[in-house]
Amino acid sequence: MATIQSQKSAGARSAQELLAIDTIRDGVILLKNGGLRTVLMASSLNFALKSTEEQDAIIYQYQNFLNSIDFSLQFVVHSRKLNILPYLDTLKDRSKEEDNELLKVQIDEYIEFIKGFVELSNIVSKNFYVVVPFDPSAIERPGLLRNVLGSLGLAAKKTNAIYAPSDVNGNQFTEFKNQIQQRTDATSMGLRSFGVRTVQLNTDELVELLYTLYNPGESEAAKSTS
């Protein structure tokens, strides 16, 4: 039993070592190489249903938005199979409370219809995210001297990291956080200019999102048993 547990622990450590993420603080993802990231959850926009004039206006505003920023952005579309179990559980509770037998039968038939329809149609839900980056410049990096010495072969151990996140003290983190927040606010305002609403994910929401992305099987299993 101890061997199995140790193997699981070793596997978990190996998986964590493959991730580029070091930690999450105050709604900011700190990468192992010292970079910072924030994540915005964005609303969808049905471009095809817009008139020609509206489409042209959206394209123009989007072009202006891209020209107004001097940093890269990552747009992520996360698709997952629609989970209707909570909705079905609500209907089942409603059926148990129903005194009218005819309505009870209709609710049960509706439950079976919805369950079969979703299974056959393989309906998926989509969430849209915008990842905002900030990588401190070489002058701002606490590990600059270490990196210079490493490039000259004078350091004890060469590293590819910008700096270790543990090297960042409170003042440095606050400064970096303020700079990435400025980028995040500018991105949010730019997207809003052509009808895309955004919400910045906090620490708990980032943890939940990342866990779901890296453990899709466990996530679906937990929903099925809940």
Dihedral sign for Cα 109, 115, 121, 126, please. Answer: positive
Q: Out of 75-79, 148-152, 173-177, which region has the weakest mean confidence (pLDDT)?
A: 148-152
Q: How far from chain centre, in Å, is Cα 48?
A: 26
Residue 137 pLDDT grade (very low, low, confident, very high; cuts 50, 70, 90): low
- Quick one: DSSP state of residue 20? S
Domain ranges of the chain: 20-79+126-225, 83-122
CA-based nearest residue to 88, from 185, 226, 200: 226
Kindly state the tokens that stand for 152. 């000259």
Task: List Cα–Cα distances, 207 to 27, 131, 213, 214, in angstroms.
Answer: 9, 15, 10, 11
pLDDT at 221 over 80: no
**Average pLDDT, integer, range 60-88:** 87
Extended strands (E) in 63-138: 74-81, 124-134
Q: Are 82 and 125 in contact (CB under 8 A)?
A: yes
- pLDDT score for 11: 52
Higher pLDDT, 222 or 158: 222
Q: Out of 115-119, 214-218, 219-223, which region has the weakest mean confidence (pLDDT)?
A: 219-223
pTM for the complete prediction?
0.66
How far, in Å, CA of 102 to CA of 105, rounded? Answer: 5
Dihedral sign for Cα 3, 7, 9, 13, please. Answer: positive
Task: List Cα–Cα distances, 1 to 13, 16, 118, 145, 198, in angstroms.
Answer: 19, 23, 41, 47, 48
- Written as one letter, the residue type at 206 is L
pLDDT at 76 over 70: yes
How far, in Å, CA of 54 to CA of 58, rounded? Answer: 6
